[in-house]
Amino acid sequence: MKIYVVGLGPGGADQLTPKAASVLQGCDIITGYTVYIELIKDMFPGKTLLSTAMTKEVERCEIAIEKALQGNIVAMVSSGDAGIYGMAGIIFETAQNYPEIEIEVVPGITAASSGAAVIGAPLTHDFAVISLSDLLTPWEKIESRLAATAQADFVICLYNPSSKKRKDYLEKACDIILRYQSAELPAGIVRNIGRIGEEYRLMTLGELRNTRVDMFTTVFIGNSQTKIINNKMVTPRGYRY
Ligand code: SAH
C-alpha cells in the first residue's frame, strides 16, 4: 500500500523530474487540485484521475488513503515541491493511523528555484521564504517573520503574494520590510514560471510596494548587496573578480 506525494515543478513537462515522471507512469491513480491535474493529464493517459477543489485538502487525503487501502498505488500531486506549501505534511498527518500505508515524498522544483532562474541569481546567499497567505497562519505571525528577516538582511522570496481577498497584502509586507531596508533595494516579480505567458519584471522595493500582483506570481526582494546586472537580479556571493 503506497501513496506518493509528488512535486510537479512549476508547470512544464521539461521541469518535471524523471523520478516524478516514472512514479506517475507507474501509479494507478493520480489525485490533486484540478489545475495541477489539468497540467499533466495529457502526459499520463490511461490513469484514473481524481481532482478536487483547492480548499478540499483533507478530503483529498482521505480519498487517497481509501484508494491506497483498496490496494491502489496512489500519487498525490502538488505544484513545485510537494513539501513546500504543498500536500506532503497533511498526508502524513491524516494517514498516521494507517502504518500499513507507505508514504514517499518525491521532490520537485519549487517556485523559489524556478523563479530565481528566470530572474537571474537572487538567492545565492541566505534567504527566507515567506508565504503571505493568512488562511492557515495568523497575519501577526507573518508580519513578525517579515520584520525579523528584513532586519537580518535576508533575501526574501514571497509565495502567495496576493489573492482576490488579500489585494493589499504585498503593500503591507513591503511597508514592514521598508522599516529596516532601503526603498532602493532591487526587487523582482516572476509570473507563470514554466508556463505559457511566463514573464518577469525588475523594480525597486519602493516600486514593488505600489505594484499589484496575482497568485500566479512569486516575488523576490534582494538584500543590501543585491544588484541589477544587465536586466537580471543578482545577489553576490562575495567572490572577488
Ligand atoms: N508547492 C509550490 C508552492 C505552492 S504555494 C512550490 O513548491 O512551488 C502557491 C504559490 O507558489 C503561488 O501563489 C506563487 O507564489 C508560487 N508559485 C507556484 N508555482 C508558480 C509558477 N508556476 N509561477 C509563479 N509562481 C508560482
Q: Domain map of the chain by residue range?
A: 2-109, 112-234
Give the mean pLDDT of 112-129: 98
pLDDT value at residue 116: 98
Give the C-alpha separation, 68 to 104, whole Å: 13
Please state which CATH number belongs to domain 2-109.
Answer: 3.40.1010.10
Q: Is 160 in the pocket of ligand 1 (CB under 6 A)?
A: yes
Closest CA to 5 of 71, 70, 59, 84: 84
**Strands 186-191 and 217-221: what pairing?**
antiparallel
86 lines ligand 1 (CB under 6 A): yes
Q: 32-41, 72-81, 118-127, 211-220 — which is least confidently predicted?
A: 32-41
Distance between Cα 143 and ligand 1 center (Å): 20
CB crowding 214-223: b at 16 or more within 10 Å, else e: eeebbbbbbb
Least Cα distance to 13 among 108, 140, 128 occurs for 108
pLDDT of residue 217: 97
Using the predicted structure, report yes or no on whether residue 181 has a pLDDT greater than 90: yes
93's CB contacts (< 8 A; 6+ apart) are none
pLDDT at 226: 98
**What is the rounded CA–CA span in Å between residue 219 and residue 202?**
10
Quote the ligand 1 centre to 87 CA distance (angstroms).
Answer: 13
- Nearest 5°: the CA angle 107, 109, 111 is 130
Secondary-structure class of domain 112-234 per CATH: alpha beta
Which tens digits make up the pLDDT trace of 83-114? Answer: 999 999 999 999 999 999 999 999 999 999 99
pLDDT at 157: 98
pLDDT of 53 > 80? The answer is no
Mean of the pLDDT values across residues 153-171?
93
Indicate left, alpha or beta for 9 from its phi (over 0: left) and psi (-120 to 50: alpha).
left
Residue 148 has pLDDT above 80, yes or no: yes
Lowest mean pLDDT among 1-10, 12-21, 31-40, 210-219: 31-40
Q: Which residue owns the Cα nearest ligand 1 atom 11?
A: 159
The answer to whether residue 147 scores a pLDDT higher than 80 is yes
Whole-number Å distance, alpha carbon 234 to ligand 1 midpoint, is 21
Strand pairing partners for 229?
232
Model-level pTM?
A: 0.96
Q: Are the CB atoms for 94 and 65 separated by under 8 Å?
A: yes
CB 88 within 8 A of CB 200: no
Q: What is the mean pLDDT of residues 76-82?
A: 95
Q: In which region does residue 160 sit, left (phi positive, over 0), alpha (psi from -120 to 50) or beta (all else)?
A: left
Nearest CA among 147, 221, 8 for reference residue 213: 221
Kindly tell me if the per-residue pLDDT of 52 is higher than 80.
no
Residue ID of nearest Cα to ligand 1 atom 6: 80
For residue 65, how far is its CA from the centre of ligand 1 (angstroms)?
Answer: 25
Beta-strand pair 48-52/29-33: parallel
pLDDT at 39: 80
